[in-house]
Amino acid sequence: MYGKRAFTLVELLVVVMILGALAAIAVPRMISGATNAKINACLTNVDLINSQIELYYANKGAWPTDLKTVTADTEYFPDGVPACPFGTAYVYSTTTHRVAPHTH
């Protein structure tokens, strides 16, 4: 007859500790990766909006009076204006005629 084969409590404890250590390493990296992706998406949106503001100036010969003048025009944003992944509104400066990146 064969004896019963099973894992001991110590073996199971070692496996759980290894899985816990791997999770402790992987979870923070995934969270910071998602935050970095949102920051990069936000910066890309700012660049896109600023390029469309410049295109507006090239087409109209004048800077827009506010951001909505450009973002509401489907000629410049046919798919709609890009939204900040953090939910922060983009702010247009009538002095620099740019949307400045915001901090997160």
Q: For the beta carbon of residue 35, count every other beta carbon within 10 angstroms.
A: 13
The answer to whether residue 77 sits within a structural domain is yes
The answer to whether residue 1 sits within a structural domain is no
Q: pLDDT tens-digit profile of 24-74?
A: 888 887 777 888 899 999 999 999 999 999 999 999 999 999 999 999 999
The answer to whether residue 28 sits within a structural domain is yes
The answer to whether residue 49 sits within a structural domain is yes
Amino acid 89: pLDDT: 92
Q: Tokens 């660049």 identify what position?
A: 47
The answer to whether residue 2 sits within a structural domain is no
Query: 35: which 2 tokens?
Result: 């935050």
Between 88 and 27, the higher pLDDT residue = 88
Domain that holds residue 38: 9-99
Give the mean model confidence (pLDDT) for residues 1-8: 73
The answer to whether residue 92 sits within a structural domain is yes
Number of domains in the chain: 1
The answer to whether residue 86 sits within a structural domain is yes
d(CA 48, CA 42): 10
Asked whether 43 and 63 are in contact (CB, 8 A), the reply is no
The answer to whether residue 4 sits within a structural domain is no
